[in-house]
Structure 1
Amino acid sequence: MTLNTRKLASLLVLLLVYSNQLTAQQGVVKIEQDSDITKLLEYKKDVKTVDLYKIQLDFGSRSEAELLKQNFQNTYAQWPAEMVYETPNYKVWVGNFSTRLEADIALLEIKKKFSKAMVFQPKKED
């Protein structure tokens, strides 16, 4: 190979390498979503549909239940907790599980910190 042929070959290789980079495109994808969609999804989670299962952590006085609920929420933020009054006790209920299996799986995790927890199916409101 002559010197000119080597220079030409080197130049072609460089052009091929850089031309690939020059044609690459970069972009940013921005998804805009109406804020009502998030509200509807939260509402859907809270709506009492067909057979839902919950986990009861424990029951007691109002102050005990409030403390229990706060402790639960600090430990397990992924499940909603609510305090319910059923004469004469306040109870702390967790989650809206659509299947018993889903509730049992959550119960295994929750029982690590809340040993009195149990799965139940609340009475349907007519």
Structure 2
Amino acid sequence: MRILKLSTTLGVTLFAILAAAKTQAQTVTQDPKFEELLNDKRKISSQITLNDKYKVQIFYGDNEKARKTMQEFKKAFPETDGTIIFESPTYKVLVGSYASRIDAERALEEIHKKYPYALVVQPNK
């Protein structure tokens, strides 16, 4: 009988603590700019797609060097777009977006002058 009384008392106490914790929940107000920034990020992320097109990989290595390589590439080839992709544990700098391998190979000839280790890749294959 004593054990039953103790477990009932313990159960009632636990219920009271949980009910009190639930009623004292805090409300969080979110800055409206946060939602705006989140929407902007969603737009940008949806625009960066890797598709069946061919790209030229000009760098494979760590983050800092990938960023430097991308900056140098944009200065040397301002008309060609590029992106940095993280594939654990390294970063790749991919440039261009070519419909056929032949177009990518033509662009590679010019890119090879500055980046001799560049190669044509098809990211989603």
- Residue equivalent to 1:118: 119
2:63 maps to a residue whose letter is R
Following superposition, the deviation at residue 50 of structure 1 comes to: 6.3
- Point out where structure 2 has 5 or more consecutive residues left out of the alignment: 1-46
What is the number of residues matched between the two proteins?
A: 80
- Residue equivalent to 2:86: 85
TM-score relative to the length of structure 1: 0.58
CA 1:113 to 1:120, structure 2 compared with 1: closer, same or farther past 3 Å? same
Higher-helix-fraction structure: 2
Using the aligned pairs only, state the percent identity: 35
- 1:105 paired with 2:109, answer no
CA 1:116 to 1:49, structure 2 compared with 1: closer, same or farther past 3 Å? closer
Q: Could you tell me how far apart the structure 1 residues matched to 2:62 and 2:113 are?
A: 23
- Point out where structure 1 has 5 or more consecutive residues left out of the alignment: 1-45
- Residue equivalent to 2:64: 63
Over aligned residues, Cα RMSD in angstroms? Answer: 2.1
Equivalent position SS for 1:103: helix
Following superposition, the deviation at residue 51 of structure 1 comes to: 2.9
User: For 1:87-117, what per-residue CA distance to the aligned partner results, in whole angstroms no more than 9, with x for missing partners?
Assistant: 0001100011001111000000000000110
TM-score relative to the length of structure 2: 0.59
Q: Could you tell me how far apart the structure 2 residues matched to 1:58 and 1:121 are?
A: 15
- Residue equivalent to 2:9: none
Instruction: Report matched runs for 1:31-70 at 5 Å.
Output: 51-70=52-71
- Residue equivalent to 1:73: 74
- Residue equivalent to 1:37: none
Equivalent position SS for 2:92: strand
- Residue equivalent to 1:35: none
User: For 1:54-84, what per-residue CA distance to the aligned partner results, in whole angstroms no more than 9, with x for missing partners?
Assistant: 0000111110000000000000011101100
Q: Which entry has the higher C-alpha Rg, 1 or 2? A: 1
